[in-house]
Copies of this chain bind each other. A is one copy, B any other.
Amino acid sequence: MTTTKELLERAKKAKACIYTLTEEKKNAALAGMAEALTENAEEILAANLLDLEAAKDRISPVMLDRLRLTPERIASMAQGIREVAALPDPVGRVLDRRIRPNGLTIEKRAVPIGVIAIIYESRPNVTSDAAALALKSGNVCILRGGKEAFRSARAIVKALKTGIERAGLDPDLVGLVEDTTRESANELMHANGYVDLLIPRGGASLIRACVENATVPCIQTGQGICHIFADETADPGMALDIIENAKTSRPSVCNACEVLLVHEALAPSFLLLLKKRLVDDRIAAGKMPVSFRLDPKAAEIVEGEKAGENDFDTEFLDYILAVRVVKDVREAVAHIAAHSTAHSEAILTRSEENAAFFTASVDSAAVYVNASTRFTDGGEFGLGCEMGISTQKLHARGPMGLNELTTYRYIITGNGQIR
């Protein structure tokens, strides 16, 4: 077994080559990775079967489904790598260039970050996605997946390394942590001098642990208590469509809506329509109905469970919607400032003034006017892909695509200038 310490040393060694990697080399490695995944599909599926066997009584059916690989899923992972290869190279972009009065040329150029460690859950496809994004952006990656998917991840990384080596690059550009205990996550959090960026992708407790303990730079991702505010002038039909979509199209994801704020002038009529759409119509259509958590004013208007103490601070990730009636857009903005995780929020309105005030005042990564919060996603934003969705303010905010996996360097060229 490779220890995490050894893995970190190897990653540091592999880093020496990244700053001079050409686009061609990187794309050749990505092509090799995709090819090797397909070639080694049987071995990967066999490892995955062992993971599924070991996990079957210990995790939920939903989790088991996420863990399961099929020939089609492996083909789609390979296709994902090819799509990343086809994206523009984020490295080498000239972000700014100026010639100073003293003749110095100052160029601000995008460069890789270095070694990126990613802690994630038991989804085998994240292993190849993350490796592809890291490699395309010129970074070394250290992957630390969930223990339920370890055998699958090991088989996948073995194949990826074969592909990288075939392209003549250092297979240590991608590394897998073999220790799946908490200790290895802890080692990554404190690997100063080895890890240039730590990206925790997972539940609230993992992210909190990283924020509180990590001494290496860390980007928080993916917690979303997303709000929709239906203003007095909202189009009710559009509002119903957007709210149903944001709440029910995929309740388990971070860009799903958890809290609805309704203008008090709209609430009396709208909440009844909302109950019909989210509860009655869905039951009639054989779909999962939404369960409300109502603040006192909303409870006066519509049937449903009353909100408990924490319901406006909970990422339900379920068919549950907290509902509060507010006086106006200012109260909506104040509520969001107090309760949001700064992921995605939307205003539904026909008032340009309120839309402008909302988008200026709500300090979240993505602020929507008359659209579903579900669009906060690298692909939907046109970034081509994403490593995660940052909910912090430094470095990157919202979907992190390839550009967000780079930093920059000033390169200054002179002919003897002194100060």
0/1 string, A306-346, CB within 8 A of B gives 1:
00000000000000000000000000001001000000000
A residues 2-21 in Cβ contact with B at 8 Å: 16, 19-20
A363 at the interface (CB under 8 A from B): yes
A382 with B98: in contact, given A364-B409, A371-B413, A407-B397 (CB under 8 Å)?
A: yes
Contact A104 B375 (CB under 8 A): yes
Contact A367 B409 (CB under 8 A): yes
Question: Which of the residues B334, B374, B409 comes within 8 Å of A363, measured between beta carbons?
Answer: B409
A284 at the interface (CB under 8 A from B): no
0/1 string, A359-379, CB within 8 A of B gives 1:
111011111111110111000
A205 at the interface (CB under 8 A from B): no
* Central interface residue in A100, A113, A361, A416, by most chain B CB within 10 Å: A416
A355 nearest in chain B by CB position: B413
A241 at the interface (CB under 8 A from B): yes
Q: Indicate the size class of the contact surface on chain A.
A: 35 or more
Contact A369 B413 (CB under 8 A): yes
A398 with B371: in contact, given A100-B380, A242-B418, A380-B419 (CB under 8 Å)?
A: no
Contact A363 B111 (CB under 8 A): yes
Distance in angstroms from A400 CB to nearest chain B CB is: 12
A196 at the interface (CB under 8 A from B): yes
Contact B395 A394 (CB under 8 A): yes
What are the residues of chain B within 8 A of A291 when measuring CB–CB? none
Distance in angstroms from A68 CB to nearest chain B CB is: 25
A367 with B410: in contact, given A20-B360, A212-B215, A394-B394 (CB under 8 Å)?
A: yes
A249 with B418: in contact, given A395-B394, A395-B395, A409-B397 (CB under 8 Å)?
A: yes
Question: Which of the residues B98, B113, B370, B382 comes within 8 Å of A393, measured between beta carbons?
Answer: B113
How many angstroms between the C-alpha atoms of A337 and B368 in the bound complex? 44
Contact B111 A411 (CB under 8 A): no
Contact B114 A363 (CB under 8 A): yes
What are the residues of chain B within 8 A of A368 when measuring CB–CB? 412-414
A206 at the interface (CB under 8 A from B): no
What are the residues of chain B within 8 A of A418 when measuring CB–CB? 241-242, 245-246, 249, 371-372, 374
Question: Which of the residues B361, B365, B416 comes within 8 Å of A371, measured between beta carbons?
Answer: B416
How many angstroms between the C-alpha atoms of A217 and B212 in the bound complex? 11
How many angstroms between the C-alpha atoms of A83 and B409 in the bound complex? 27
A16 with B375: in contact, given A367-B412, A409-B365 (CB under 8 Å)?
A: no
Contact A415 B360 (CB under 8 A): no
A392 at the interface (CB under 8 A from B): yes
27 contacts between A and B (CB under 8 A): A16-B334, A19-B361, A19-B363, A106-B382, A111-B363, A196-B393, A235-B416, A238-B415, A241-B418, A245-B418, A246-B418, A359-B411, A363-B409, A367-B409, A367-B411, A367-B412, A368-B414, A370-B413, A370-B415, A371-B413, A371-B414, A372-B418, A372-B419, A376-B410, A394-B407, A395-B395, A397-B410
Give the top 9 A-B pairs by smallest Cβ distance, nearest first: A371-B414, A245-B418, A394-B395, A395-B395, A374-B419, A393-B407, A238-B416, A371-B417, A366-B410
Beyond known contacts A19-B363, A104-B371: 11 more, CB 8 A cutoff: A16-B334, A19-B361, A100-B380, A366-B411, A367-B411, A369-B413, A370-B413, A371-B415, A371-B417, A395-B395, A397-B410
Residues in A lying within 8 Å of B, measured CB to CB: 16, 19-20, 98, 100, 104, 106, 111, 113-114, 192, 196-197, 211-212, 215, 217, 219, 235, 238, 241-242, 245-246, 249, 334, 337, 355, 357, 359-361, 363-372, 374-376, 380-382, 392-395, 397-398, 407-419
